[in-house]
Structure 1
Amino acid sequence: MGVARQTVYTWKALLDEGGIDALRAVPGRGRPAKLEPEQLAELRGALLQSLTAHGFGTELWTLKRVGSLIKRTYGVEFSQTQIWRILGALGFSAQKPDRRAIERDEDAVRHWKRHTWPALKKKPNVTAD
């Protein structure tokens, strides 16, 4: 059920005392959500857009950037742990960025490694005694 054992005991006691109607009368517990479901749906759409569309310089979402977007858009501030939970609830998971640039030219890299790099390497000092 995803709740603490004590909560189940409380529910059982309510059921035993007042039946199913007593359980239905229990108010919702916990702090109210700071973002409405519609806002979460908007946030998901925003996260699927390009970061440059939101004023960031690179195409890499971080928890800090997501938090900045949420604060700018909805005026609500979350801890990074809570941002992580929100992203998980929206279906996002951690992704490791590719280390190589998209614009990388493999032929130019190969040419540089074969021709330019060997010329730049230090030559051993050979001194005659």
Structure 2
Amino acid sequence: MRYSDRGGGLSAQERAKREKLRFRAADMFAGDIEPPRVAELLGITRKSAYEWYALWSRGGRAALASKGAAGNGCKLTDEQLAWLEGALEEGAAAHGWDDQRWTTSRVASLIWARFHVSYTARGAAYLLNRLGWAGRPGSRRGGPSGG
């Protein structure tokens, strides 16, 4: 479920509240209450109740635990981000490309080659922006030009 008015996700408090609701549903499923009745009792949509029921059927209560990450949702650890920052500062040529230009595709490839973490070019662009790199990968806001 997307919440476009909230930047694409739930706050930690909202996520915990939603998880608690899913756990209440799991308890009801365990008590042989059907998804439409669970939806009515909890004030959720039937669609959600059936989705939660399917998850619960396959994996029990644990399958309904929150999978949302607290924080910014970045796939890389702080140590990996630090390494990436250093690699970007070194320039693309230091990492096998013919010139110093960092493109989002190159950054995504570098992340995959080093950490086996998949990023799309668009995801790499978001990551670069978060790290303080200007709209053109290769120059840094408030810092030296990378090429």
Give TM-score, length-normalised by structure 2.
Answer: 0.44
- For residues 58 and 50 of structure 1, the distance between their equivalents in structure 2, rounded to whole angstroms, comes to 8
Q: Which residue in the other structure is 2:126 paired with?
A: 85
- For residues 96 and 61 of structure 1, the distance between their equivalents in structure 2, rounded to whole angstroms, comes to 5
- For residues 28 and 45 of structure 1, the distance between their equivalents in structure 2, rounded to whole angstroms, comes to 33
CA offset at residue 69 of structure 1? 0.5
The answer to whether the aligner puts 1:3 opposite 2:3 as a matched pair is no
User: Of the two structures, which has the highest relative contact order with CA contacts closer than 8 Å and spacing of 6 or more?
Assistant: 2
The one-letter amino acid paired with 1:30 is G
Q: Which residue in the other structure is 1:43 paired with?
A: 84
Any gaps of 5 or more consecutive residues in structure 2? 18-64, 139-147
Q: Which has the larger radius of gyration?
A: 1
CA offset at residue 62 of structure 1? 0.4
**CA RMSD after TM alignment:** 3.1
Any gaps of 5 or more consecutive residues in structure 1? 15-26, 98-129
Q: Which residue in the other structure is 2:109 paired with?
A: 68
Q: Once the two structures are aligned, what percentage of the paired residues are identical?
A: 32
The one-letter amino acid paired with 2:125 is W
CA offset at residue 55 of structure 1? 0.6
Number of matched residues?
79
Q: Which residue in the other structure is 2:68 paired with?
A: 30
The answer to whether the aligner puts 1:54 opposite 2:92 as a matched pair is no
The one-letter amino acid paired with 1:91 is G
- For residues 30 and 71 of structure 1, the distance between their equivalents in structure 2, rounded to whole angstroms, comes to 22
Q: 1:95 aligns with which of 132, 136, 146?
A: 136
Give TM-score, length-normalised by structure 1.
Answer: 0.50
Shift in CA distance, 57/78, structure 1 to aligned 2, threshold 3 Å: same
5 Å-filtered alignment, 1:13-24, equals none
- For residues 6 and 100 of structure 2, the distance between their equivalents in structure 1, rounded to whole angstroms, comes to 38
